[in-house]
Amino acid sequence: MLRSVLAPVHPDGWRFIAAAVLAALLLFWLHWTPLGWLALAVAAWIAYFFRDPWRVTPSRAGLVVSAADGVVVAADRVPPPKELEMGEAPMTRIGVFLNVFDVHMNRVPMAGRVRKLAYSKGKFLNAGLDKASEENERMAVRIASAEGPDVAVVQIAGLIARRIVCTLTEGQEVATGERMGLIRFGSRTDVYLPAEWAPLVVKGQRVIGGETVIADASSHEPQREGRLH
């Protein structure tokens, strides 16, 4: 019962929660009660932001799941990040924008072996913009998938995001849906797949990291179109 209601807090968030709680205690001690309650509210929001809920990941071979919670802002074909050395041929890119209220834990989109990690400094543009994929600070991960072709996932800092956390290492074997890190306070994740793998999601659709299937290596379904109701 509690497992379905309460989500654990990611370890990266505890020091921020502790700082907010200590600030609240200090403010109460100084008899600045309204500010003390405000600091406690901030502590509660930080705990909410760093929540790390359990997820049930579909496990059939060939399935690709979303690397993050959020809204799909790109489902197109573009060249992969140059730093990953995957060539210049267009790949299927599925970009997901995370606002400050989304779960910010990132997850591995497809099982395989980590071939390359590449961190790039950059700007902090609105992560919902397409140019953020190339110009913003980012961590790119190349994965040799179990299905043969390499895939990639890129953690991209956003307008107010100032820290990307990636827990993967080169050579590591990863499972679909496995936790791979987080981005603090608003961000974007892009997943790059072989061009022949059509997206099973559309722009504007809300997805759940580690659960929503965004592509299928064995599917011959054409790219979907979306309709707002």
pLDDT band at 83 (very low <50, low <70, confident <90, very high): very high
Task: Output 129 or 57, whichever has higher pLDDT.
Answer: 57
CATH number 2.70.70 given to 63-216: yes
Q: What residues have CB less than 8 Å from 29, skipping those under 6 apart?
A: none
Average pLDDT of span 79-97: 94
pLDDT of 126: 65
pLDDT of 203: 93
Average pLDDT of span 55-83: 94
- Average pLDDT score, the chain: 88
CATH 2.70.70 domain locations along the chain: 63-216
Measured distance CA(141)–CA(155) in Å, rounded: 8
Measured distance CA(167)–CA(105) in Å, rounded: 11
pLDDT of 49: 83
Measured distance CA(114)–CA(116) in Å, rounded: 6
pLDDT of 161: 59
- Would you report the helix, strand and coil content of the chain in percent, each value rounded to 5? 20, 35, 45
Average pLDDT of span 42-60: 89
pLDDT band at 157 (very low <50, low <70, confident <90, very high): confident
Least confident of 112-116, 146-150, 190-194: 146-150
Say whether 187 is catalytic.
Answer: yes
Q: Which of 66, 133, 145, 187 does the annotation list as catalytic?
A: 187
105 pairs with which residues across the strands? 182
pLDDT band at 133 (very low <50, low <70, confident <90, very high): confident
pTM: 0.87
pLDDT of 129: 66
Residue 141 has pLDDT above 60, yes or no: yes
pLDDT in tens, 173-209: 999 999 999 887 768 999 999 999 989 999 999 999 9
Q: What residues have CB less than 8 Å from 178, skipping those under 6 apart?
A: 107, 108
pLDDT of 116: 96
User: What φ, ψ does residue 65 adopt, rounded to 5°?
Assistant: -110, 160
pLDDT of 186: 65
Instruction: Decide: helix, strand or coil at residue 5.
Output: helix
Q: What residues have CB less than 8 Å from 201, skipping those under 6 apart?
A: 66, 72, 75, 94, 207, 212, 214, 224
- 3 by Cβ neighbours in 10 Å (0-12 / 13-18 / 19+) ranks as exposed
pLDDT of 147: 75
Task: Give the Å distances, CA to CA, from 215 to 30, 49, 75, 108, 153.
Answer: 56, 28, 11, 13, 14
Residue 229 has pLDDT above 90, yes or no: no
- CA–CA–CA angle 224, 101, 9 (5° rounding): 115
